[in-house]
A and B are shown apart, each in its own frame.
Chain A
């Protein structure tokens, strides 16, 4: 056995990963820009899709990467939405600042939520997450003077982006702003889940005892992930508030939390692309089918989900991965 370290190979590793990730991120950006040109009359809907995609990405961090059961992620999204909305009505209208306020509110709520939820495991943890989102929902409902109660917050008027681009009626500025935010957050999360910290989280999901035997305490690691997850969800909430200029109780609801989980399972847990694919498919189906039959569109989503869970347990992204692998294998076999 030689003692030679493969230095050149080690140096080439991050470059190869970076190249693959760059292609993925470019595809997300291109798909987003294509949406801008292909569906100019639906930009408000697409912006809502981006806002919810940020929520689903944040959920993937805790559920998909850390294995923490949660049905209360909308608490973090709603905290960001309300914080941005309240700040905007108070006179803070700079869009970037509103996003930061939303992210900070989501992050702080994430810390509090994590502190409570990490005391339990499994089913009790899931119940705690539901209780937290219901409590926040009720608090937002009762605090009428601050949140507008069941009427919600309205009348927000964010300042033009960079002092130039107004948030117009067609939603063009909001969409492009949202798309840029999504790409930035996506890149940051890609780096995060590939980092040693991300690997520790995945290790904790698989075998917490083994990770503790390596000298890593689970609680601070998972709490940090809750903070990051909250900041991402809060960013989504703030984007929703800026884009629609309305914040309602639906942004901090159990229903939104449950839908986010459905989107994540549909797309594939523990895969950032899966979170995006699941959001797009779910919301597109909702948008299209609900237009034809507003009462039974969930039946189709239910059927789709049952089929995914039974026949593609890794979600749509897992199926795409598998198809690509089979295709590559076939190509290699036919190559001379």
Chain B
């Protein structure tokens, strides 16, 4: 599936009666990268879940490649090309690495999993290990590889570096950068590590209490210490 543009308009969503996102609008061109920043609890994960159809939507629309996918449920959106790598990874712990990858094939031949091993050679070494036997970094690689196997046109990465050792973060970032450079998918990147987020994407939005309070380029944000201090909690980049 080729990369598609994503157009989000006036999105309001939440859980039950609780509104978490309010009037969120942004767009990402096909093959583009967007980083989503904000402190904890500001709605970043809810935004990812809403794009995937996992929350209650109160208002707004989601356009994917020029088509409105708002009315589609989770499976339908995934079939249209949205792929989520959740913050919690959610790999199948009683399945081996290889078996986890089988689940993500979406009808592709088994040999396609070699693409995953090419992207993350560590998974090839651990292919016979159960999901429960993997380290956090390996679980993240597996969750990412499993989603990418389905060839999404828009990839949602929700805090993929959370709690991982720096060396693993570097490996993952290298893989994400390679994926992004291929232009095969549009990537939305939620991340707490400011340097990684700004280095990865051309454009950034900042969420504060479920609303977009700042949007612009990574370069502009780097230069604006006040915005960083106010919304992210750092006065300058380390």
Whether the Cβ atoms of A203 and B103 lie closer than 8 Å is: yes
Cα(A3)–Cα(B115), bound, Å: 9
Interface flags for B105-123 (1: CB within 8 Å of A; 0: not) read 1100011011101110100
Given contacts A213-B52, A214-B146, contact A7 B79 (CB under 8 A): no
Given contacts A196-B110, A214-B103, A214-B104, 13 further A-B contacts (CB under 8 A): A5-B115, A5-B117, A6-B121, A9-B127, A203-B92, A206-B93, A207-B90, A213-B75, A214-B146, A215-B75, A215-B79, A216-B78, A216-B106
Give me the interface of B with A, judged by CB distance under 8 Å. 52, 54, 73-75, 78-79, 83-84, 86, 90, 92-95, 98-100, 102-106, 110-111, 113-115, 117-119, 121, 124, 127, 146-147, 150, 171, 174-175
Chain A residues with CB under 8 Å of B98's CB are 13
Given contacts A13-B127, A202-B94, contact A216 B74 (CB under 8 A): no
What are some 29 contacts across the A-B interface (CB < 8 A)?
A1-B174, A3-B118, A3-B119, A4-B121, A6-B117, A9-B124, A9-B127, A10-B113, A10-B124, A13-B98, A199-B102, A200-B103, A202-B92, A203-B103, A206-B92, A206-B93, A207-B90, A207-B92, A209-B54, A210-B90, A212-B74, A213-B75, A214-B103, A214-B104, A214-B106, A215-B75, A215-B79, A216-B103, A217-B75
- Name A7's contact: one of B73, B86, B114 (CB within 8 Å): B114
Please give the distance in Å from A4's CB to the nearest CB on chain B: 7
Chain B residues with CB under 8 Å of A209's CB are 54, 74
Chain A residues with CB under 8 Å of B111's CB are 10
Chain B residues with CB under 8 Å of A210's CB are 86, 90, 92
* Residue among B103, B106, B111 facing the most chain A CB atoms (10 A cut-off): B103
- Name the interface residues of A4-42: CB closer than 8 Å to any CB of B: 4-7, 9-10, 13
A334 is an interface residue with CB less than 8 A from chain B: no
Output the nearest chain B residue to A199 by Cβ-Cβ distance: B102
A211 is an interface residue with CB less than 8 A from chain B: yes
Please give the distance in Å from B7's CB to the nearest CB on chain A: 21
Chain A residues with CB under 8 Å of B93's CB are 206
Cα(A101)–Cα(B200), bound, Å: 61
Please give the distance in Å from B160's CB to the nearest CB on chain A: 15
**Interface size class of chain A, counting residues whose CB lies under 8 Å from the partner chain:** 20 to 34
* Residue among A196, A203, A215 facing the most chain B CB atoms (10 A cut-off): A215
Cα(A317)–Cα(B86), bound, Å: 34
Chain A residues with CB under 8 Å of B147's CB are 214
Whether the Cβ atoms of B118 and A203 lie closer than 8 Å is: no
- Name A202's contact: one of B99, B113, B174 (CB within 8 Å): B99
- Name the interface residues of A175-202: CB closer than 8 Å to any CB of B: 195-196, 199-200, 202
Please give the distance in Å from A39's CB to the nearest CB on chain B: 37
Interface flags for A198-234 (1: CB within 8 Å of B; 0: not) read 0110110011011111111100000000000000000
Given contacts A209-B54, A213-B74, contact A6 B124 (CB under 8 A): yes
Whether the Cβ atoms of A214 and B121 lie closer than 8 Å is: no
Whether the Cβ atoms of A211 and B103 lie closer than 8 Å is: yes
Whether the Cβ atoms of A1 and B114 lie closer than 8 Å is: no
* Residue among B73, B92, B111, B115 facing the most chain A CB atoms (10 A cut-off): B92
Output the nearest chain A residue to B98 by Cβ-Cβ distance: A13
Cα(A70)–Cα(B90), bound, Å: 27
Output the nearest chain A residue to B105 by Cβ-Cβ distance: A196
A299 is an interface residue with CB less than 8 A from chain B: no
- Name A1's contact: one of B74, B103, B105, B121 (CB within 8 Å): B121
Whether the Cβ atoms of B117 and A1 lie closer than 8 Å is: no
Which 4 A-B residue pairs are closest in the complex by CB-CB distance? A215-B78, A199-B102, A196-B102, A6-B124
Cα(A4)–Cα(B99), bound, Å: 21
A2 is an interface residue with CB less than 8 A from chain B: yes
Chain B residues with CB under 8 Å of A196's CB are 102-103, 105, 110
* Residue among B73, B83, B124 facing the most chain A CB atoms (10 A cut-off): B124
Given contacts A213-B54, A216-B75, A216-B106, contact A206 B150 (CB under 8 A): no
Given contacts A4-B121, A6-B117, contact A213 B78 (CB under 8 A): yes
Chain A residues with CB under 8 Å of B118's CB are 3-5
Output the nearest chain A residue to B49 by Cβ-Cβ distance: A213
Chain A residues with CB under 8 Å of B74's CB are 209, 212-213
- Name B103's contact: one of A2, A3, A199 (CB within 8 Å): A199
Chain B residues with CB under 8 Å of A207's CB are 90, 92
Please give the distance in Å from A148's CB to the nearest CB on chain B: 45
Please give the distance in Å from B15's CB to the nearest CB on chain A: 14
Cα(A214)–Cα(B52), bound, Å: 10
Cα(A216)–Cα(B108), bound, Å: 13
Whether the Cβ atoms of B78 and A212 lie closer than 8 Å is: yes
Output the nearest chain B residue to A10 by Cβ-Cβ distance: B114
Chain A residues with CB under 8 Å of B54's CB are 209, 213
